[in-house]
């Protein structure tokens, strides 16, 4: 995988992300942490490449959930595909629109303009598969966890957590 970010920075970031995620496990309801990855009734094992939209997919576009403004599994998968479409194109505005503020803070130490200025978000990254294979997808309330095969020409798997924010799925973590 070719990236504009140094490998040591990416590795440090992954370690910090895992430490942050683990620190949220088992805490009280008021504690901060990543979205739950407990099993749920919605899952998908096929990929979809229909969405190339840069904007987050909202609940009103795919609502099937009983809860208002909580997008469903199809919307989560569409957001995943849109995120990787934007990464392949080097479309920083689309990448940033599909990321949670927490993810941007983790990666860039601030949100907004720092995300837009990130060289990795402004550089086309053809290493990502088109479409990304979604091996599994679990939706649990306002959190979703997907196991992906994101790299072109490789069966290597990665995990992406998504968070429903303002009725749209946004990337919360990716490792």
DSSP reduced 3-state for 22: helix
Q: Please report the pLDDT score of residue 70 as a whole number.
A: 78
Q: Please report the pLDDT score of residue 47 as a whole number.
A: 36
Q: Please report the pLDDT score of residue 67 as a whole number.
A: 54
What CATH number matches the domain at 40-174, 3.30.70, 3.10.450, 3.90.640, 3.40.50? Answer: 3.10.450
pLDDT band at 68 (very low <50, low <70, confident <90, very high): low
- Taking each helix axis from N to C end, the angle separating 7-23 and 101-108, rounded to the nearest 10 degrees, works out to 130
Domains of the chain by residue range:
40-174
Q: Residue 114 to residues 6, 27, 121: CA-CA distances in angstroms?
A: 17, 31, 10
Q: Residue 166 to residues 56, 58, 70, 118, 134: CA-CA distances in angstroms?
A: 10, 8, 8, 24, 24
Give strand pairing partners of 170.
Answer: 163
Kindly tell me if the per-residue pLDDT of 132 is higher than 50: yes
pLDDT by residue (tens digit) across 8-63? 333 334 333 333 333 333 333 333 344 333 333 343 333 333 333 444 443 333 33
Of 163, 174, 138, the residue nearest 33 (C-alpha): 163
pLDDT band at 69 (very low <50, low <70, confident <90, very high): confident
pTM of the model: 0.64
Calculate the CA dihedral of residues 16, 19, 24, 27 and round it to 10 degrees: -150
């Amino acid at each position: 995988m070719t990236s504009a970010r140094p490998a040591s920075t990416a590795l440090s970031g992954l370690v910090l992300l895992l430490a942050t995620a683990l620190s949220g496990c088992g805490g009280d309801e008021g504690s901060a942490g990543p979205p739950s990855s407990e099993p749920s009734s919605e899952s998908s094992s096929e990929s979809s490449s229909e969405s190339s939209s840069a904007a987050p997919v909202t609940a009103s576009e795919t609502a099937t959930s009983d809860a208002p403004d909580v997008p469903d599994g199809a919307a989560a998968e569409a957001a995943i595909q849109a995120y990787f479409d934007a990464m392949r194109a080097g479309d920083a505005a689309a990448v940033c629109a599909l990321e949670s503020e927490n993810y941007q803070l983790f990666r860039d130490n601030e949100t907004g303009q720092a995300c837009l200025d990130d060289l990795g978000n402004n550089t086309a990254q053809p290493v990502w598969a088109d479409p990304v294979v979604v091996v599994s997808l679990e939706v649990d309330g306002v959190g979703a966890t997907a196991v992906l095969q994101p790299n072109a020409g490789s069966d290597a798997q990665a995990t992406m957590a998504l968070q429903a924010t303002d009725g749209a799925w946004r990337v919360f973590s990716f490792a």
